Amino acid sequence: MSEPASFLAQLGVHRVPVPVPFPEAGGPANVYVIEEDGGGLALFDAGIGTREGREALLAGFRALGRSLGEVRRIFVSHGHIDHYGYARAAQEESGAPVYAHPRDHDKLLGRDRSGPRLQLYAAYLERLGAPRDLLEHVRVHWQDVRRMARPLEQVEPIGEGTRLRFARFSAEVLHLPGHTPGLVCLWAKDAGVLFSDDHLLERVSPNPLLDLEGRPEPIHRALSEYVQSARRARELPARLIAPGHGEPFTGHAEVIDRLLSFYEKRQARILELLADGPQTPAQLAPRVFPHARPSQLYLTLSEVMGNLEVLEDRGNVRREERNGRIVFLRQGPA
């Protein structure tokens, strides 16, 4: 294959990286500017609504000799601020509709961060055994989110199997839940390109986060679903992965194999720690991640819970509710 950038350019796709102010993201977020059939442009992801994000996006458009006013459709891969944060502004500039999977609509619409929803998180985190100040981290994080991403007023649905026609290629929408419940990728089958956003990054694991989606108990089993979605992506005959952060890369099967074996080691470690007796996810988190900072507890707790759910699916552990706390116990042959 020619250089990834020129290969993408032949498809009428231009990657514009925009800076993101949190290191866990894995570097600048990519906005893919795609030439539309019949003129105009589409966006796959819209960057972040910070001043630096806006400036980088506008500079990218200028370098292409194009303007935001030419945008006809805005596709958002998933409901994280580094991917939809600038969508509202881009929409105001262009009048373009914004599309995303329905399971992430509440995030784009700002409905996922209301007072009542914070109370649901408070109750659930307490059941996981988390200290009360974790909720304060969540609350502060939600305020940051509002600062860097203005909510949209309307979002149109896309989902598994939606066909998208662009000027020089067609793509199919794949719903690959895990990193968020409504994450989608674009699969340009004829070109062999997977626009993978945060489902698949070359060097960063995808942080499947706890997500209540407005319920007292999550139905989204982030890591279990992620693993299934990763297996699905592994089977695609992709020549090039155009990710949500970092440079396009090849060899996605090896990247996925590495990631899955990394999670399996972590699951083995958790089983080992559970040999000491039943524990809450919050008791396990600092033992699994002894070097994590207190501000990372939400991430580490999500990661531990995700791995526990995978172990639960396999019948290696089970949960019990004891005095209002969810504890996990080893089961089956040791």
- 211 makes contact with Zn ion (CB under 5 A): no
Sequence-distant (≥ 6) Cβ neighbours of residue 115 within 8 angstroms: none
Which residue, 82 or 106, is less far from Zn ion as judged by CB?
A: 82
**CB of 226 closer than 8 Å to CB of 178:** yes
Distance CA 211, CA 190 (A): 34
**CB of 17 closer than 8 Å to CB of 29:** yes
CB of 210 to Zn ion, least distance (A): 14
Q: Which of 33-41, 224-232, 238-246, 257-265 is the region at the interface with Zn ion (rule: CB under 5 A)?
A: 238-246
Q: Label the pairing between strands 98-100 and 13-18.
A: unpaired
CB of 244 to Zn ion, least distance (A): 5
CB of 213 to Zn ion, least distance (A): 16
CB of 25 to Zn ion, least distance (A): 5
CB of 207 to Zn ion, least distance (A): 7
CB of 281 to Zn ion, least distance (A): 22
- Residues that bind Zn ion (rule: CB under 5 A) add up to a total of 5
CB of 229 to Zn ion, least distance (A): 13
Sequence-distant (≥ 6) Cβ neighbours of residue 261 within 8 angstroms: none
Which residue, 24 or 136, is less far from Zn ion as judged by CB?
A: 24
Convert 34-59 to b/e letters by CB count within 10 Å (16 or more is b).
Answer: bbbeeebbbbbbbbbbbeebbebbbe
Which residue, 29 or 33, is less far from Zn ion as judged by CB?
A: 29
DSSP 3-state assignment of 172? strand
Which residue, 70 or 82, is less far from Zn ion as judged by CB?
A: 82
- Rounded to 5°, the CA angle 90-93-97 comes to 60
Residue closest to Zn ion, measured at CB: 80
Q: Which residue do the tokens 């991640």 mark?
A: 289
Q: Which of 25-33, 44-52, 63-71, 233-241 is the region at the interface with Zn ion (rule: CB under 5 A)?
A: 25-33
Of 229, 191, 223, 195, give the one whose Cα is nearest residue 207: 223
Per CB under 5 A, contacts with Zn ion among 137-176 are none
- 199 makes contact with Zn ion (CB under 5 A): no
Q: Which of 6-14, 239-247, 291-299, 302-310 is the region at the interface with Zn ion (rule: CB under 5 A)?
A: 239-247
Q: Which residue do the tokens 């080893």 mark?
A: 330
- 198 makes contact with Zn ion (CB under 5 A): yes
Sign of CA pseudo-dihedral 216, 217, 219, 222: positive
Which residue, 18 or 327, is less far from Zn ion as judged by CB?
A: 18
Q: Which of 23-31, 119-127, 225-233, 247-255 is the region at the interface with Zn ion (rule: CB under 5 A)?
A: 23-31
Per CB under 5 A, contacts with Zn ion among 49-108 are 80, 82
Q: Which residues pair with 326 in a beta bridge?
A: 321
Which residue, 82 or 309, is less far from Zn ion as judged by CB?
A: 82
Which residue, 104 or 198, is less far from Zn ion as judged by CB?
A: 198
Which residue, 25 or 194, is less far from Zn ion as judged by CB?
A: 25
CB of 84 to Zn ion, least distance (A): 10
State the alpha helices, DSSP H only, in the chain. 4-10, 51-63, 81-84, 87-94, 105-108, 115-127, 133-148, 222-234, 252-274, 281-288, 297-313
Q: Using CB under 5 A as the criterion, which residues of the chain lie in contact with Zn ion when the complex forms?
A: 25, 80, 82, 198, 244
